[in-house]
Homo-oligomer: A and B are copies of this chain.
Amino acid sequence: MGPDFRQTMEVNNPEWVQDFLDASISYPSDQDKMRLAIVLARENVMRGTGGPFGAAVFEESTGALVSAGVNGVVRLGTGTAHAEVVAIMLAHGTVGCHTLRGVPGGPFTLASSCDPCAMCLGAVLWSGVSRLLCGASRDDASALGFDEGPVFEASYDYLKSRGVAVVRGLLRGEAQEVLRRYRDLGGPIYNG
């Protein structure tokens, strides 16, 4: 018998996130959705539970919240635990399906406080959401030293060709402010 390779990685949010989520509140507009993503990003910074990134999934027709995610790279101990990946995994768990496409309550929108990195942009495709909202830009994240990976204009074109509408630069100023705060507090640049 060698060592045991039975392992599980548990992906979730820090406990405080619960206080910012309320299923009785609706987030009708794109700005409403993005504001929640940015609030989560800001709180993640201020509470020291992760990088300056937040995301959330909503029903488009009702504006109801489905799931949320904050960056958990250091807390969860895996470079894959970006806010978008966390929100997408938990959305799948909530609806009980590996894709949000064709699921009751859909179509769905993902709001992310920053342009997604290469991994998260791919995850958006497999998530089954129909819309992606982005706050801060790739350049804003890069200015802090975060690597966003191989994302090109053609990557966004690809999403659109697969039926995913993309809105970028939504409440960018507020989203940038979270990035600046993280830098000022000396937060770690784990993908430097």
> Interface residues, chain A, CB within 8 Å of chain B?
2-13, 15, 17-18, 21-25, 65, 67-68, 73-74, 76-81, 85, 88-90, 92-94, 96-99, 117-123, 125-128, 147, 149-150, 152, 154-155, 157-159, 162, 190-191
Contact = CB atoms under 8 A, between A and B. Distances in A.
13 contacts: A5-B67, A6-B12, A6-B18, A7-B90, A8-B11, A9-B11, A77-B92, A77-B93, A78-B98, A80-B85, A80-B126, A119-B119, A152-B152
A7 B94 contact: yes
State the oligomeric state as a number of copies: 2
A122 B125 contact: no
Residue of A2, A18, A150 most packed against chain B (CB within 10 A): A150
Contacts of A119: 118-123, 125-126
